[in-house]
Chains A and B, each alone.
Chain A
Amino acid sequence: MSDAVTALGAMEFSGPAVQVKEAPLRGMITVRGDLSGSAFAGAVRAATGCDMPQPREIVHGGDASVGWMSPDELLLLVPHDSTAAVVADLSRDLAGVHHLAVDVSDARAVLCVEGTGAREVLARLCPADLSPAALGPGELRRTRLAQIPAAFWIDPAGGITLVCFRSVARYTFDVVSDAANAAPVEFLPG
């Protein structure tokens, strides 16, 4: 696994009030199933240490996170080198329970958008309410970013983590950097 690379090789951009950079390798697993099932919650907790998220929520715990993607889909974020083991654990724990667990670490790219203007950068591109009242910690938003689908959330540290598909990683980086290369709009708080 030594030669695995991210889509953009840790590309970075600094705007007047925002820094954009590609995050290091991150394990990502798409899990589909009946989220209300008790076996399900148990397996997810065993694999990640996280509770089952509510709709539109992302739960962080230790080095893993669990995001609610749709009524029957979760995104598990785990350390990259434990991805295969987590998929195997889930498959074992959910044997006999109808589900799908698949490694999508390489199907996605992750960007970190940080700085006082981070919310306004995404508000230039996404038809989503970026105000702190609508997008606080723990809220995961799936939306459109310019011309592609994307998901993001506010990190416990205050930055924004943004996930997109790998093939459009460069486009995403370019549009976000373009939006970051401008003075603040001064509509949303930093």
Chain B
Amino acid sequence: MSIRLEQGGRLIDRNAPLDFTFDTKHFGGFAGDTLASALLANGQTVVNRSYKYHRPRGIMASGPEEPNALVGLGQGARFEPDQRATTTELFDGLAAMSQNAWPSLGFDMMAVNQWFSSMMPAGFYYKTFIWPRPFWKHVYEPIIRDAAASGLPPKEADADRYEHFYAFVDLLIVGGGIAGLQAALTAGQTGARVLLIEQTAHWGGRAPVDGAEIDGKLADVWISETLAVLAAMENVSLRSRCMGAGVYDHGYALGYERLTDHAPQVAGPRHRLWRIRAKQIVTATGAIERPLSFAGNDVPGVMLASAVRDYVVNFGVAPGHRTVVVTNNDDAYRTALALIDAGLEVPVVIDARDRNDGPLAREVMRRGVQVELGAAVMKVKGSKRVEGVMLCRANGTGGAGALVECDSVAMSGGWSPVVHLYSHCGGKLLWSEDHAHFYPDPSRPPLGADGLGFVRCAGIAAGAMGTRSVLADATAAALAAASAAGHTGAATPPVADDAEETPMTPVWIMPQQALPELRAKMFLDFQNDVKVSDVQLAAQEGFESVEHAKRYTTLGMANDQGKLSNINGLAILADSRGEKIPQVGTTTFRPPYQPISFGSIAGEARGEIFQPLRRTPMHDWHETQGAYWEPVGHWRRPYCYPKQGESHDAAVAREVLATRNSLGLLDASTLGKIVVKGPDAGRFLDMLYTNMMSTLKAGKCRYGLMCSENGFLSDDGVVARIDEETFLCHTTSGGADRIHGWMEDWLQCEWWDWKVYVANVTEQWGQIAVVGPNARKLLEKLGGLDVSKAALPFMGWVEGELAGVPVRVYRISFSGELSYEIAVSAGQAMALWSKLLVAGWEFGITPYGTEALHIMRAEKGFIMIGDETDGTVIPQDLGLGWAISKKKDDYLGKRAQQRSHMTDPNRWKLVGLETLDGSVLPDGAYAVGEGYNANGQRNTIGRVTSTYHSPTLGRGIAMGLVHHGPDRMGEVIRFAKVDGALIDARIVSPVFHDPDGEKQDV
């Protein structure tokens, strides 16, 4: 059982005790602990149940490679699942919950799965649950997902805040071990702007634990001296608790800074996502130790040898009283020494190599530890914790073994450089036969825009395996990177030695000839429960590509992305195929290096500022009137203004009738307004619109249609000619930015020699529509402008002052009523709106919203972009042939509209529709025809595009596209409702109200 030692622990403060809970248990720890070290200190050996077989699992590692110790952290609005205990700093009051165990960690019902594990091989789910097909989605998948559930999703909105930060540097250095520190020092001295980030709270990495000496000093001393020098350099920034999450094209990298995870009482953002643009990137990300594959290598108490050493040295925690060390390399001997130094027992070091007379082995033997060479662990005894190991020959089958009692196992299969960040953006790897690992190929780095590499690895991440090599490599990498970023300099690495070590021997299965029953208990991927036998089966079944085998077995697909399992799994696959590891290749590493919070990705975009909200000058007034909003693009427009207790339908009907009978007021500010000016402006608009705009006289307005090159109707609106060279084009509310971009596109890319400038002035103007039979009276009452029919006829415009406010007034109508649209500078729009309301009181002036606008335009048979059009409709479909010039040689869409399909008389065409019973047709309803199509569906002959209850007519009205529609006036066709019922509707003219247009032209 794991315990806290009486002494030791370089990172903890024994004078600062902390309380925390794990499930229902109350535990104590110290400041400086991780949750993992504190759990171990309290003897909590089992921390999780495995994903598939629900086997008890303990802490295996001490860093981000940890596969097992995932917990739910926090509560309520601060709950977060799948947090690694090894990267979670302990704080007072921390509340952690185990995951994936029901009903409890000690007694897990789903653990029965492990008894059936021989019946759940690789691809088990695919093979078993494929039939009957519909069962997967509705029966099997939900049950399997429940059984395999890891963390629970949070139920409440996240209470914390997050932020982004954009940083531009010459050099980003990822990793604050001795390599990163030396690189930062070297690059900093060249004058380069350097950002050094380290994922943990501590600088210096493993060097102090591994007993490195630099410049004749202990690593700890060199680290603090170097940090002091770096802190004094203005061009160097240091960030701890900041992980290099990803490297992307063009020197873009993400840093994930955890600001308050360790101190939740501190105000401010919890995480900061650094969005870094670096000229050069140096990754000094160290290496990760590999597990060994022996039977029972997942039993709680089996740990990486480096992790055992970390817990003893850094936290004063012993994973066990008697620890067996099993290894294929010399580094694990350091663990044996650390354990002995801490007064703990090491009954045996099991070394798979046949010979080892290196200094580390000699020192271990000198301390009286038995070293078994050419040996292996046959299997681990125990289920919820280690009780012993069976010792056998390394090259045997594991048929028989000798028991060694112990309560902990420290294993080491060698070290793999952390090449993730180098690989994210395409850096390629080489295989080292000496160390049995992939390391970065410096001749094939990720390439920047200039075709040159922009990422270098430094230190162990580059494959440099001793202290001297690490520091020399980091110095060289930093000088090269700084030089590539435009800063040259020279530097000498500090003095250090590479420890003398006996070469490692790759060991992928222990023992080498292990029998099948042993292979079925050797775990490769602890997080996804993938075993040696699974990968061998996948190879046997023909999954030869590593990418396929990975997906079939789920090897490396858990949220640790296979940090411990990838190389071991790859070796098994290669062996099964009788190939070498580099021939099988490796999978692609993808960002993020470790999962990062969604909050950090969202940054500030939440709550009120989730998305930009565009406001008209009258927005606040609408809000105080209790307007019911409708989103239109990023704008909010009042849909209607319901009075106290009034339904939306009733409000809309009231607004329509008030406008038709007396006076309505509409905020039309969202309407797009684009100035088009230049000697070629008329020619330009003739190309953009289907009708002729160049013949428009100054002071006049004309309605126009715009089509895409494919002939489809894209936007519509009224164009006003301001002067000989200047037009003002009105677009739909949602279309302004798109049409402005469309104009610039044609002017910049196609007609670059035409003398035309455009400017989007949508927001310069508030636009107020004064609509209804009393509209003229209201404007006359305000005074200052002659708005008589003679002075301002229908489709004309004038400029002047209304009630002392400068305005431009367009006599246009989208309602069929006498209507003036008043453009007023946005800064004075609200003032004018107020004057109109006050002066209009005697006429019962009624502000109306978008729904009343829609109804009134539909009563008049006016089309609406987005209702009558959907990207497949041409103007000819809508009876808008009158707005298509026959005289022009060309306009955008003209040629397309001559294609046979566009001129096909069978295209559905716009008509009005009146239900026989006066009811309202469902929006989008289809008219049914005779017979059925090839899919057994009822044939259709038309569909509804707009449908409303008309308060003016007291009945349902609609517009729709109908096969041969205009030729079938008076005919009754049937529309299908969703419930299968049919509604009869008569085909009529789409102009339901005032067909001769007398009301708008008074």
CB-based contact B605/A104 at 8 Å: no
Query: Is there contact, CB below 8 Å, between B275 and A127?
Result: yes
Q: Residues 179-200 of chain B: 1 if any A CB is under 8 Å from the residue's CB, otherwise 0?
A: 0000000000000010100000
Q: Which residues of A contact B75 (CB under 8 A)?
A: none
Give Cα A131–Cα B675 distance, bound, in whole angstroms.
Answer: 37
A151 within 8 A of B: no
The distance in angstroms between the C-alpha atoms of A98 and B756, with both chains bound, is: 8
How many angstroms between the C-alpha atoms of A129 and B168 in the bound complex?
6
Q: Which residue of B lies closest to A9 (CB)?
A: B620
Name the CB-closest residue of B to A25.
Answer: B827
- Stretch from B448-456, B682-690, B760-768, B859-867 forming part of the interface with A: B760-768
The answer to whether A106 and B677 have CB atoms under 8 Å apart is no
Q: Is A147 an interface residue (CB 8 A)?
A: yes
Contact of A170 with B by CB under 8 A: yes
Residue picked from A100, A105, A174, A182, most chain B C-beta under 10 Å: A100
**B167, A3: Cβ atoms closer than 8 Å:** no
How many whole Å from B154's CB to the nearest CB in chain A?
A: 22
Knowing A100-B677, A168-B614, A182-B268 are in contact, say whether A123-B167 is a contact too (CB < 8 A).
Answer: yes
Say whether A4 contacts B827, CB under 8 Å. yes
Q: Which of B158-166, B369-377, B875-883, B894-902 is the contact stretch?
A: B158-166
Q: Does A30 contact B (CB under 8 A)?
A: yes
Are A33 and B757 closer than 8 Å at their CB atoms?
A: yes
Determine whether the beta carbon of B763 is less than 8 Å from that of A166.
Answer: yes
Q: Please, which residues of chain A bring their CB within 8 A of the CB of B762?
A: 107, 167
In the bound complex, residues from chain B placing their C-beta under 8 Å from that of A98 are 678-679, 755, 757
Q: Are B827 and A6 within 8 A (Cβ)?
A: yes
Q: With a 10 A CB-CB cut-off, give which of B755, B763, B805, B806 has the most chain A CB atoms.
A: B763
Interface band, chain A: 35 or more
User: Is B616 in contact with chain A by the CB < 8 A criterion?
Assistant: yes
Nearest to A167 among chain B residues (CB) is B614
CB-CB under 8 A from B764, the residues of chain A are: 102-107, 166
Give Cα A182–Cα B165 distance, bound, in whole angstroms: 12
Residue A5 at the chain B interface, CB threshold 8 Å = yes
- How many whole Å from B767's CB to the nearest CB in chain A? 12
Smallest CB-CB separation from A3: which chain B residue?
Answer: B831
Known: A98-B755, A171-B613, A174-B609. A131 touches B163 (CB 8 A): no
Contact with B along A160-178 (1 / 0, CB 8 A): 0000011111110011001
Quick check: is B480 within 8 A (CB to CB) of the other chain?
no
Q: Cβ of B759 and Cβ of A100 under 8 Å apart?
A: yes
Picked from B168, B603, B615, B759, the residue with its CB within 8 Å of the CB of A167 is: B615
Cα distance, A120 to B635, chains bound together (Å): 30
Taking CB as reference atom, which chain B residue is nearest A106? Answer: B826
Chain A residues, CB < 8 A from B603:
124
Residues A125 and B164 in contact in the complex (CB < 8 Å), given A146-B604, A178-B609: yes
Q: Is the CB of B761 within 8 A of A102?
A: yes
Residue of A3, A102, A171 touching B759 (CB-CB under 8 A): A102
Are A123 and B828 touching (Cβ within 8 A)?
no
Would you call B830 and A5 a contact (CB within 8 A)? yes
Whether B759 contacts A123 by the Cβ 8 Å rule is no
| Residues in chain A near residue B844, CB distance under 8 A | none
Residues of the A chain whose Cβ atoms lie less than 8 Å from the Cβ of B166: 123-124, 126-130
B757 touching A179, Cβ below 8 Å = no
Which residues in chain B, 718-764, are within 8 Å of chain A measured between CB atoms?
Answer: 755, 757-759, 761-764
Question: B952 near A: Cβ within 8 Å?
Answer: no
> Does any Cβ of B come within 8 Å of A46's Cβ?
no
Contact of B165 among A170, A175, A185 (CB under 8 A): A185
**In the complex the two chains form, is B609's CB within 8 Å of A171's CB?**
yes
A3 and B827 CA atoms in complex are apart in Å by 8
Do A147 and B163 touch (CB < 8 A)?
no
Q: Bits for A84-104, please: 1 = Cβ < 8 Å to B, else 0.
A: 000000000000001110111
A134 at the interface (CB under 8 A from B): yes
* A146 and B609 contacting across the interface, CB-CB below 8 Å: yes
Give the Cβ gap from A95 to chain B, nearest Cβ, in Å: 11
A106-B825, A106-B827 are contacts. A179–B616 as well, Cβ < 8 Å? no
Docked-complex contact B268 and A179, CB < 8 angstroms: no
Beta-carbon contact of B611 and A104 below 8 Å: no
Complex Cα–Cα for A27 and B566 (A): 63
Complex CA gap A128/B806 in Å reads 40
Q: Which of A100, A124, A134 contacts B757 (CB 8 A)?
A: A100
> Complex formed: what's the CA distance from A49 to B609 in Å?
40
Min CB gap A44→B, angstroms: 15
Contacts of A45 in B (CB 8 A): none
CA distance in complex: A32, B755 (Å)? 11
Give residues in B with beta carbon < 8 Å to A.
Answer: 163-168, 193, 195, 237, 268-269, 272, 275, 277, 603-605, 608-609, 611-617, 634-635, 675, 677-679, 755, 757-759, 761-765, 805-806, 825-828, 830-831
Q: Give me 5 A-to-B residue pairs in the complex whose CB atoms sit less than 8 angstroms apart, sorted by A's number.
A: A102-B764, A127-B275, A127-B277, A146-B609, A167-B635
Known: A127-B166, A187-B165. 6 other contacts (CB 8 A): A3-B828, A25-B827, A33-B757, A98-B679, A105-B825, A125-B604
Interface residues of A (CB under 8 A from B): 1, 3-7, 25, 30, 32-33, 72, 98-100, 102-108, 120, 123-131, 134, 146-148, 165-171, 174-175, 178-179, 182-183, 185, 187
